[in-house]
Structure 1
């Protein structure tokens, strides 16, 4: 060791001993904080678009017209799989001008879509495929411990599953897959973790310095951006847990199989 190195080493040791030096650890932006605390290794983000009207004076009920889902790997932050299907509305088959402008979904797209019952069947087949490929286990067991490839569903607010899909399935006497009876409301976790109430998904992204990518109120774009937000929240130290569950005869975590014949 030369004289300069010896002096530098001695000075650094003295500064540390006197409390003048602080050790700073650089965080890696592509890793989530507290990975051992995360109960899930995968998320499936869902964001429906539905029929809507500027003034709904007749009490019309929303029907799903776009059904997207994206699979987010929480080890890498990458979206690995996507499901996307336009859905044919039958209660109010003609989209309002407001709906077309708001969602960007044209009448032709929904007319070429499939009924909700068929869409749920296709979605069930997709879930089965990605589950078998990655050995996914949905939700967590009753004791709270998580499986190696534990997965849950994520939405921005409870509206998609608790209101939109649940009510439409009830009205149309369709089977709502019990696997969708539990989910994580990312908006609720965002408000609690950051102690802020953002103005929508775009507002939440903006607050964290993120840019919304794509067209707002496109279901697939919204799902991708929600996944982006979830990944950033994990990097900041947020822990994603199941926040909502609907009453069901069987707990989704105990389901030995996924029902796809719907």
Structure 2
């Protein structure tokens, strides 16, 4: 598109964006009704006016199902050795809060937000479905970038009738993955390894930068319920015994 390089200035409501794309334990055929555990916590920090992107990345050691499935390793590229040598999530969260304080986003002692920042993910899943106990710095605004790109694409597309004279609706469009979002914005193809958390985060960051260049206002569009409970949770958040099994497919 000819307007790819045309920068459009628009007021952005946030000073910084935290781009997150976690990877988690998985078995082929399982969904969110199975207790996935985070095994990679990668974040790209975008700040207006900064020329470089700051990054935080840590592998995470799963606690209740510590052995990765071959499917999980094949999908994410994360090895058993990497998670065996990694800290559990509470320690990763502590280290990440230090990262946030070092970059001036939160107070190092109280955890209070010092600037306006928004979490950015590809879809609503990363914060909503994978982080069971939300740290204070994660209880805030979340923007589903996939939804923003979809809305921008609809707005930018030349007008076409949404229904025929008989009233038949257009086929429902699939939600665009990262690769399709890059293509939609005329950006170069996916850089790195797909389903590597840090590579996914870096590519989502590219999408956000391009959206901002095109004058898209970045606003939260995803509701996060901190106290959400899953069927496999006991009273204290632990995994119920009947869910403590290794799926076989």
TM range (shorter): 0.7 to 0.9
Which residue is 1:200 aligned to? Answer: 177
- Return the match for 2:100 from 127, 142, 146: 127
**1:185 pairs with 2:158:** no
Structure 1: segments with no counterpart, 5+ residues: 1-25, 139-146, 170-175, 250-262
Deviation at 1:248, TM superposition (A): 6.0
After superposition, where does 1:36-47 map in structure 2 within 5 Å? Answer: 36=11, 38-47=12-21
- Return the match for 1:91 from 64, 67, 74: 64
After superposition, where does 1:85-234 map in structure 2 within 5 Å? Answer: 85-131=58-104, 138=113, 150-166=116-132, 169=133, 176-182=134-140, 183-195=142-154, 197-210=174-187, 211-234=189-212
Change (3 A) 1:65 1:238: same
Change (3 A) 1:62 1:28: closer
**For 1:79-111, what per-residue CA distance to the aligned partner results, in whole angstroms no more than 9, with x for missing partners?**
431111000011111111110010000110000
CA separation in 2, counterparts of 1:54 and 1:188?
26
CA separation in 2, counterparts of 1:213 and 1:248?
33
Change (3 A) 1:243 1:132: closer
- Return the match for 2:47 from 70, 73, 82: 73
TM-score (norm 1): 0.69
Shifted more, 80-89 versus 198-207: the winner is 198-207
CA contact (8 A) 2:4 2:214 kept: no
Change (3 A) 1:30 1:42: farther
CA separation in 2, counterparts of 1:246 and 1:56?
23
Q: Aligned with 1:244: secondary structure? A: coil
Q: Larger helix proportion, structure 1 or 2? A: 1
Runs of 4+ in 1 over 6 A off after TM superposition: none
Q: Which has the larger radius of gyration?
A: 1
CA contact (8 A) 2:10 2:216 kept: no
TM-score (norm 2): 0.72
Change (3 A) 1:34 1:120: same
**Count of residue pairs the alignment pairs up:** 203
CA separation in 1, counterparts of 2:147 and 2:216?
12
CA separation in 2, counterparts of 1:69 and 1:87?
14
Let me know the Cα RMSD of the aligned residues.
3.0
Deviation at 1:27, TM superposition (A): 6.9
